[in-house]
Chains A and B, each alone.
Chain A
């Protein structure tokens, strides 16, 4: 649970860890019941629609205006998205 929280960059308290671990366990066992009804000859499903080979031609279409793109950014500098420090000195 702590590993998942770290991967998702969520800060979770000890109490919450315990709470979520229980909840996640319930979700996983609920989903696992699908496996009980799926027979061995049924492939795992990743797509609800049985389609393949959906492509677009290699053609340029106009992009969004930059003002619109950057309007949603928390911070902008030099027409780029400004983000916090990525790695510390001894990362």
Chain B
């Protein structure tokens, strides 16, 4: 029997840490001019450099260096004035060279932090290092299991090999207690938002451009930190949270039984939400790192760094603080928005000119409901602050009723089109022509003589069926209260 999460916390304290790999959004690879475009035919984006053919000479992509420095600055890191690339030697058929060009003891950026907020409390997550390396090729394992274990053989596509990859490593984060999984998730979300704001990566987790390895350990309060495990390839925010939680529960079960935790690499299953053992962790020295002789050192001068710093956009945390302050909301209202995951969306909608109350209503109400139905975050829906701001404007000027606004939102969610396109295609328009409504009311009365008689006999509530009939005839484009009034008037029944 596995322990409950509460059982785990009653006896142990977690320490977590994340290693996050981010593919940069450069158009060419890290050390050669091959395209980084996603989804190309296998092995069509390769050359002697990224295939590791003899005599090929890698040269560093300048934009990749600048992007890395920007990431370092945004994460409050120091930037190395001089650092080198290193060869990481290993045998695994995802790199044709039998080594990966990476950085070892001289990362370009080091010793930073970001602050994340969970349930009203701020947690500082230290950043150990930000270093540059190259992505690996993509293996497809062929065999009955479809997994690496038990595969008969594997097929390799080297298009991804050599795409600039940044590894961002946190310091170990103790002191989060029960919220450790949530803080790890919030850190990942904050990092994703920063990377997006910097414009250095498209950060599409589903395409693998942001991948996390989750380190977790447990210790008895007051004791030294426990042995950690590393769960590889955790590729969504929700999975980061689940991976920390499930490792805590698994490790606590072992510790309770007096079993030592083995330092190892584990794999995360998106379907079951738990981890299973992978390769046993090789010692760092096994990679036989040494300075990459083909690449000269990177030595950014202060002037270059300051120019990059001056060009940084407003970062999400500062932006959020500024927007929240401008909304003039209570702490409770802000908390409700945070719980619905719509703070930034509301803020951006207000920046586009919508009233704060309306923006909150739409995001926290109808859109959040749609997000729940689809089991995603509101931010992941194909609807943007620009869409909602437009819907709000159309409702405000009377072009749409609230009900029609909702239909417009539905249309955007289905098609991703602009609101005006959806409105035109669906023919969404408030029918305010009284003559047309009276004609529709008369038709409804004629078509439902029994219902009409009931209303005339005093059963006013029965008019609802006739209202429905008129609304149907006008495809929901009339104001229901106005329709009701017209029907009662035509039937000679006082309100």
Q: Which residues of chain A have a CB within 8 Å of any CB of chain B?
A: 7-9, 46-47, 49, 51-64, 66, 69-70, 77-91
- B46–A47 CB distance below 8 A: no
Q: How far is the CA of A37 from the CA of B82 in the complex (A)?
A: 26
- A47–B297 CB distance below 8 A: yes
B71: min CB distance to chain A, Å: 16
Q: Which of B247-300 contact A (CB under 8 A)?
A: 279, 286, 288, 291, 293, 295-300
Q: Which of B40-85 contact A (CB under 8 A)?
A: 41-48, 51, 59-65, 82, 84
Q: Which residue of B lies closest to A78 (CB)?
A: B155
Q: How far is the CA of A47 from the CA of B91 in the complex (A)?
A: 25
- B35–A60 CB distance below 8 A: yes
A53 contact set on B, CB distance < 8 A: 296-300
Q: Which of B375-417 contact A (CB under 8 A)?
A: none
A50: min CB distance to chain B, Å: 9
- A47, A51, A58, A87: residue with the most chain B Cβ atoms closer than 10 Å: A58
B33 CB–A CB distance under 8 Å: yes
B172 CB–A CB distance under 8 Å: no
A24: min CB distance to chain B, Å: 14
B148 contact set on A, CB distance < 8 A: 86-87
Contacting residue for A91 out of B43, B63, B84, B279, CB 8 A: B279
A84 contact set on B, CB distance < 8 A: 153-154
* Closest A-B pairs by Cβ, 10 of them: A61-B33, A46-B291, A55-B62, A80-B155, A58-B63, A52-B299, A81-B156, A83-B93, A56-B59, A51-B296
**Is chain B's binding surface mostly helix, strand, loop or mixed?**
loop
Q: How far is the CA of A79 from the CA of B41 in the complex (A)?
A: 9
B33 contact set on A, CB distance < 8 A: 56, 59-62
Contacting residue for B43 out of A9, A47, A70, A83, CB 8 A: A70
Q: How far is the CA of A87 from the CA of B91 in the complex (A)?
A: 12
A68: min CB distance to chain B, Å: 10
A88 contact set on B, CB distance < 8 A: 149-150
Q: How far is the CA of A74 from the CA of B152 in the complex (A)?
A: 17
Interface size on B, as a range, is 35 or more
- B154–A85 CB distance below 8 A: yes
User: Interface 1/0s, chain B 142-153, versus A by CB < 8 A?
Assistant: 100000111111
A8 contact set on B, CB distance < 8 A: 91
- A47–B41 CB distance below 8 A: no
Can you give 29 A-B contacts (C-beta < 8 A)? A9-B91, A46-B84, A52-B296, A53-B296, A53-B297, A55-B65, A59-B27, A59-B28, A59-B33, A63-B46, A64-B51, A66-B42, A66-B43, A66-B44, A69-B43, A69-B158, A80-B155, A80-B157, A81-B93, A81-B155, A81-B158, A82-B155, A83-B93, A83-B155, A84-B154, A85-B154, A87-B148, A87-B149, A88-B150
B65 contact set on A, CB distance < 8 A: 55
A19: min CB distance to chain B, Å: 22
- B153–A54 CB distance below 8 A: no
- B51–A69 CB distance below 8 A: yes
Q: Which residue of B lies closest to A6 (CB)?
A: B286
- B296–A49 CB distance below 8 A: yes
B26 CB–A CB distance under 8 Å: yes
B350: min CB distance to chain A, Å: 36
- A85–B152 CB distance below 8 A: yes
- A86–B92 CB distance below 8 A: yes
B35: min CB distance to chain A, Å: 5
Contacting residue for B42 out of A57, A61, A78, CB 8 A: A78
Contacting residue for B35 out of A55, A63, A69, A81, CB 8 A: A63
A63: min CB distance to chain B, Å: 5
Q: How far is the CA of A46 from the CA of B63 in the complex (A)?
A: 25
A17: min CB distance to chain B, Å: 19
Q: A53-B296, A63-B46, A83-B153 are in contact. Are A7 and B286 (CB under 8 A)?
A: yes
